[in-house]
Every structure is written in C-alpha cells, then in structure tokens.
Structure 1
Amino acid sequence: MEVPEVPEVPVARSGRRRRGRTTLLIAAAAVLGVVAGSCTGYLIQADREPTKLPSLSQPTLAQAKGPAPDPLSASQDRRVKTDGDLRKLLLKKPSGAKAADWASGDGWMTLAEMAETYDKPAGAFSDLVAEEFRRAADTGWQVGGTYNVEIRLAQYRQEEELQASDLADSENYYEDSESGTKSWPVPGSDNGMVYVHTKPDTKPGYLPQYNATAVAWRGDIVMKIFVWDTRPIPKAKIMDLAERQVKKL
C-alpha cells in the first residue's frame, strides 16, 4: 500500500514584529494629547498671579561669644606628630645595644632604599609610586652577636585610596601564610598583630635564622617590626616592641 505524501508545512521565520497601522494611530493620539495638555496648563498658569519668590539674602548668624578655643596639642592632634619628623616616632635604641651596620645613618629611607628591601626592586619601585609612597623612617640595633631588631614606619599620601590599611592587610596575609607561624593581636591596638615564625631559614654554610614580625597601621602610617636571631624568638620580645611602638603612633 502506497503511503500518501504529507505536504510540507513551511516554518515561519522568527523576526522583528512590524508596527501596524493601529499602533501608529495610538502613538499619534498620544502626541496630540500631550500637546493639548501642555497648552491647557499654560493657559491656566497664565491667568494666575505670579508667585513671590523668597529673598536670596539669609539672616546673619550670631557670632558665638567667648574666647577662641586653643589649638589642639600634639597629644590630641595626630597630624602634629605624623606631619613632623617621622623619626621621632621610632623607638629609641636600648642601652647596651649597638646601632646596626645595615641601618641608614640619618634614619630616613628613600623610595629607592625602600624598593631594595623587596625581592624584585624594579617592580617594587613602580608599586610604591602607584601606592603614593610619601616617606619612610627606619631604625635598628643589635644585641650580642646574633640578635637584631629593625623598625620601619612607612607613610603614604592617601590622596586616591586608603593605602595604609590595604598594605597592612597585605603584610598580615604574607606573614600569616608562612608555615609554622603563630600569631597574636597586639593589646591596645585595633589592628596590630605579631607573628612568630617557628621554622628557621636555613642556608648551607650559615647558622639557622629565626624570625618574628609585627604589623600595624594608624592613619597614613604602616608600622613593621622585624626581629631575627639564631635561636627561637620568644613571643614576649616581639610583643613588647610592638606594644611600645604602637603607643608612639
């Protein structure tokens, strides 16, 4: 039995729907309605009395009586301290310690010197410029033949972004990511942290080196403290330095 052929049904193509005559008529009516409404509103407004505008002058505010307040002292206004000599905010070398050979003579760190403290100085230099680096102060000392301390305060202009807090967060992430690290918050600080790295750095021909660090920021200044020795560094030593340095900021 022969099966009859089924006529092929054309499939309608999808496409943009054309706007018909009815739509055009509705659009024309809407335009005429807007024009008529505008004319009516204009005629009604023309028959009204003009609304009186308020006076542009304002009453003079009375001057407060009494003497002018005294300017804030350095202990109350942080900018008095942080815009001055940044080196004065660093902890002093303790008695019995000797100045470190690697510390800069005048206590200042230039942009180039700051970049040299990173593994890739050229890239660090560009990053510091982009991060609105302003200046840095640095100090350090040595006790005995192996125990060393370095304290660094880096200040940023912060005209575009709050760089100090962001950079402190980056430092915290880096310090906490190392294996064998113990960390504690610094008492009296909202964001200070100390890190004791229990695994020493080892290199053939050298004694093992243990490290501890502290990170904090306040305003536009990032504080970082480095302590290293050939023996494990107690938490109490790095914590004492961090607490005293934070109080000076």
Structure 2
Amino acid sequence: MEVPEVADAPGSVPDPHASASARDQDAPDASGTGTPVLRRRGRTALLIAAAAVLGVVAGTCAGYVVQAGREPTALPPLSQPVLAQAKGKGPEPLSAAQDRRLRTDGDLRKLLLKRPSGARDLPYPQGRDGWMNLAEYAEDFSRPDGAFKHEISNEFRRAAVTGWRVGSTYHVEVRLVQYRQEEQLGAAESAENAHYWAGNKGGTDSLAIPGTGDGMVYVHTRPETEFGVPLYSAEAHARRGDIALEIWVYDTKPIPKEKIMDLAKRQVGRL
C-alpha cells in the first residue's frame, strides 16, 4: 500500500530518519567484554565479517561432504551404570502466564503499547501491519547495507512496531526487535550498543528503568537544528530475553523525563 506524502505544516516535525544523527554515525560500541564494538559498522568490516561467516559455512559443508563419502564405522557398545529411578513427581510445567517464551513466540504485536486515544498515525511509514522486516529495519540506519548484514549475523528474527503522534510535533515510535539467539545473544548486543550510542550523545540525561537490570532512558536536552526547527528527542532501551526494546520520542520542545520513563515502564511491563 502506497503511503501519500504529507507536506510539513509550520511547526511540524520532519521525518527524524531523514538525516543522520548520533545514532547513525560510525563510532565504537561495546561488546560483553567491555571492548568497543561497532553498531554502525564500516562497509569493510562488514564484508570481512560476512566473509568469515561464509568461510565457516563453507568449511562446515565441506566437512559434511567428506564425512558422507566415508564408510560407516561401527560404534562401540554402550556401557552405562544402572541408576535407580528417581521417585516422586517432577516439577509442574510453567503456566502460560509464567512462560515468557510462550508469550513472545506468539503475536508480538499484542505486547506493544496501545496507542492513546486521540493519537494519529505517523506521517512516515513504520513497517506494514505492525511488522517491520529486516530490510525495513536496516533502512533506518545511515548505512542500510551494513546494518542489514550486521543484523543477519546477530540473528534478527522479526520486529513488531507501533507509533503515533499527538498534535503536529509530538511523535512516538516503539519497537520490539526479536532475535533467534541460537549462537548469538542478539538482543543483549543490540541493547548494549544502543546504550553506547544514546549515552555518548552530548547534553544527555540518563535514568535507569526500574526492574530491568540494565534498561535506561535517555533525554537529550540539546535540540537538533538541522531540520529548520529545534528537534528534541528522548529514547529508551532495554531487553527481555530475546527481545530488544526501543522507544523514540521527538518534539519541538524539551521532552520531560517523566514522559519517556512512563512509556518505558509500561512497555517493559507488557513484556
């Protein structure tokens, strides 16, 4: 479905993704070891990483081919001690309310914050039908091709999105980005890198989100002026298991920390 272009009314907020900001520039980020790692990686580094991944895959495939051509070898007989069988009932399975994985394996869109009454659609697209695929997610970076490859290596699975605006200047975007986490802790790395970018932007106040361990909100007190109007922003980043939570708020006036904190606490609560 085509999204019609919306002319910017006086005092309205332009699309904040139309220009590179602090979260769209190249700089070090951090890995679990505390060593800076890139969230926005350079193209060369990404190609090297992709080549390394392809090399591992090619080596694994070659190993299977060699093994498949060999004669099967008989296995030695198993010799195991006889153990007495445990008595008593085993633990009860988790209920649907307790099993977080069961909740997040369903329709992720149902866990998104509900749009407040009176709010309107954003003037720029946010995925389709509440979902954002990998290509759409990567387009939000200043180097989409690099972001695309990086998210593949991070085992991106899917992203549920919502957003709204109140009046002509107050915009909110919420994303739940889910990772497969079979070999990479994608959600943890995504959140950690987001913390690096947000915390290293000048003129930023940061606060911990209660009950999240490492979740934080960031209020950027210095406005961006490249859009023709002062554009203030605030953001929140946290993780729950295999899900990285991202909230962005934009306005032409300073954003109270209570607003972004309320959004963050309510969204974390829904997870």
Following superposition, the deviation at residue 208 of structure 1 comes to 1.1
Distance 1:92-1:65 versus aligned 2 partners, 3 A rule: same
* Structure 1 residue 61 displacement after superposition: 3.7
Q: Given the alignment, which residue of 178, 183, 186 partners 1:163?
A: 186
Aligned to 2:168: 145
Aligned length: 192
Q: Which has the larger radius of gyration?
A: 1
Aligned residue number for residue 127 of structure 1: 150
Question: In the alignment, which residue of structure 1 is the partner of 2:108?
Answer: 86
Aligned AA (1:162): L
Deviation at residue 238 of structure 1 after TM alignment: 0.1
> What is the aligned partner in structure 2 of residue 232 from structure 1?
254
Give per-residue Cα distances to partners, 1:78-118, cap 9 Å, x unaligned: 11011111111111101111122323341000110000000
Is the Cα–Cα contact under 8 Å of residues 109 and 161 in structure 2 kept in the other structure?
Answer: yes
Partners of 1:62 and 1:172 in 2: CA distance: 49
Task: Please give the root-mean-square deviation of Cα atoms over the aligned residues, in Å.
Answer: 1.7
Mapped to 1, the partners of 2:232 and 2:253 lie a distance apart of 6
Of residues 198, 203, 209, the one that matches 2:221 is 198
Q: Report SS of the residue matched to 2:149.
A: helix
Task: Provide the identity percentage.
Answer: 55
Aligned-residue offset at 1:224: 0.6
Distance 1:58 1:127 in 2: 48
Distance (Å, rounded) in 2 between the aligned partners of 1:57 and 1:97: 66
Instruction: Determine if contact 2:187/2:242 at 8 Å carries over to the other structure.
Output: yes
* Stretch of structure 1 that moved more, 173-182 or 163-172: 163-172
Contact 1:93 1:99 in 2 (8 A): no
SS at match of 1:98: coil
Match among 214, 222, 225 for residue 236 of structure 2: 214
* Paired position in structure 1 for 2:54: none
Q: Within 2, Cα distance between the matches of 1:58 and 1:197?
A: 64
Q: Which has the higher contact order (CA 8 A, sep 6+)?
A: 2
Task: For residues 26-81 of structure 1, give each alpha carbon's deviation from its aligned partner in whole angstroms, at most 9, with x where no partner exists.
Answer: xxxxxxxxxxxxxxxxxxxxxxxxxxxxxx57546446456x76532222111101
Query: Per the alignment, in what secondary structure is the counterpart of residue 99 of structure 1?
Result: coil
**Secondary structure at 1:164 match in 2:** helix
Cα pair 2:154 2:185 within 8 Å, conserved: no
CA contact (8 A) 2:127 2:136 kept: no
